[in-house]
Structure 1
Amino acid sequence: MPILYAMVARKKTVLAEYTNTRGNFPAITVELLGKIRQEDHRMSVTQDQYAFHYEIAHGITYLCLSDDVERRRVAFAFLEEMQQNFDTTYGDRAQTAIAYGMSEFGNALQRLMAKYNDPGNDSLGQVQQRLADVKDVMVQNIDAVLERGERLEVLVDKSDHLNQEAFMFKQSSRQLKNAMFWRKVKIYLLITFVVGIVILFLCMMICNPDFSACKN
């Protein structure tokens, strides 16, 4: 379940955000912020296969966009850890910060998104340990929430997302190639060292330790 976008806001004021692709979802998010109620609650807002999951705590909205409507448990675990990191970093300063006044938190969002998007991580186990059941979280269609007459469509640049995945694969391949190269270098150096020791030992046996037998 790739998480494509993450954002922290105070009412309609976006404080920090990060995305690993392109699309119209930041604009939809701003519109969504103007419609949702501000008391503490959790909710998922869907449109086809996409879902905006958000959690409001103490007037601060923590939101993410995923491309899998069904796996809400992972999304809300992501939001919970995001909230904890944000509270630890900024505390009450979020209540008075200006728009994008905490944009440096985007780096933390990037790391957190990479963590939850990594299929190698035991995401399900982490979620089961860190988050209560989310069956009671309300799910609504985004058109109903925004009260729009026309149908709204969430657009995500798939090519950009695929390019991002291709770049990560290429980077991982390069790192693996470098690791294998240095491993071979270490093996060759070790073999050279061992051969040198063996040759030295044989010479000392034939020529005596001080090489006196071979001087003539």
Structure 2
Amino acid sequence: MVKIYALSILYKEPNAAKHLKSAFELQCFGYFQRGSIQEFMAFFSKTIVERTQIASRQSVKESEYMCHVYVRGDNLAGVVICDQEYNSRVAHTLITKVLDEFTQKYPSTTWNSLTERDTNFPELNVSLAKYQNPREADAITKIQEDLDETKIILHNTIGAVLERGEKLDDLIQKSEGLSTQSKAFYKTAKKANSCCSFT
């Protein structure tokens, strides 16, 4: 069954990106894995936003997952992490929709000072649930066929998005957003090449 695992809104600052709000649907993963998987999805969302040019979209394939990202001209960014079968047009339309809704509630003058804890945006969870079925969502988005003319760049792996010489393992070890437990989970999953092949 096609599935969206994460939907996030971030603000791209000059040298970093910060999460403004995220919603997750991780029931298909084991209970004890969910915390680490959520941390990794947040980490990947942040990393991909930081490496996406302003006013552009891209889709990054990693193992059986797809990460769709859109960074608007005003530096507000949205990310959808889903399985490969999920329709990319619907994913990008969802991103555009939630960013527009977020802007109505939180004007651009507030983004720099917002923290995820302070941001009250339940619409993100509603959209995550509503768009789980891309066929149903696609009927809604057919009205919105005018997905802007921005070209979507497709990358086959997260490695293609990283800057020259950067290694994912190094980024993970340096990350302050990942707990020691999640870093250990990454090493174990990488050795076993199972469960979280996303990492």
Structure 1 length as normaliser, TM-score?
Answer: 0.61
Aligned partner of 1:130 in structure 2 is 144
Matched, 1:95 2:96: no
Secondary structure of the 2:125 match is helix
Tell whether the 8 Å contact from 1:51 to 1:66 is kept in structure 2 after alignment. Answer: yes
CA separation of 1:80 and 1:31: change in aligned 2, threshold 3 A: closer
Deviation of 1:156 after TM superposition, in Å, equals 6.7
CA distances 1:5-25 after superposition (whole Å, capped 9, x unpaired): 011111111111111213121
**Residue identity in the other structure for 1:3:** I
Aligned partner of 2:23 in structure 1 is 18
Matched, 1:114 2:129: yes
**Residue identity in the other structure for 2:105:** T
CA distances 1:114-159 after superposition (whole Å, capped 9, x unpaired): 111147x6322222221336894110131110244468979877xx
Aligned partner of 1:82 in structure 2 is 98
Deviation of 1:41 after TM superposition, in Å, equals 1.2
CA distances 1:40-99 after superposition (whole Å, capped 9, x unpaired): 111111102211111112111111111125610110121121112101111224432233
Structure 2 length as normaliser, TM-score?
Answer: 0.66
Uncovered stretches (5+) of structure 2, i.e. residues with no partner: 27-33, 170-185
Tell whether the 8 Å contact from 2:68 to 2:81 is kept in structure 1 after alignment. Answer: yes
Q: Rg bigger for which structure?
A: 1
Aligned partner of 1:56 in structure 2 is 71
Secondary structure of the 1:103 match is coil
Give 1:35's match in structure 2, choosing from 51, 61, 64: 51
Aligned partner of 1:7 in structure 2 is 8
Q: Give, in whole Å, the separation in 2 of the partners of 1:111 and 1:156.
A: 27
**Root mean square deviation, CA, Å:** 3.0
CA distances 1:96-121 after superposition (whole Å, capped 9, x unpaired): 2233255322x2111011111147x6
Aligned partner of 1:205 in structure 2 is none
CA separation of 1:84 and 1:94: change in aligned 2, threshold 3 A: same
Tell whether the 8 Å contact from 2:69 to 2:80 is kept in structure 1 after alignment. Answer: yes
Secondary structure of the 1:104 match is coil
**Residue identity in the other structure for 1:143:** G
CA distances 1:174-193 after superposition (whole Å, capped 9, x unpaired): xxxxxxxxxxxxxxxxxxxx
Tell whether the 8 Å contact from 2:59 to 2:68 is kept in structure 1 after alignment. Answer: yes
**Residue identity in the other structure for 1:33:** V
Q: Would you tell me which structure has more helix in proportion to its own residues?
A: 1
The count of corresponding residues between Structure 1 and Structure 2 is: 155
CA separation of 1:146 and 1:116: change in aligned 2, threshold 3 A: same
The sequence identity of aligned pairs, in percent, is: 17
CA separation of 1:86 and 1:102: change in aligned 2, threshold 3 A: farther
**Residue identity in the other structure for 2:80:** C
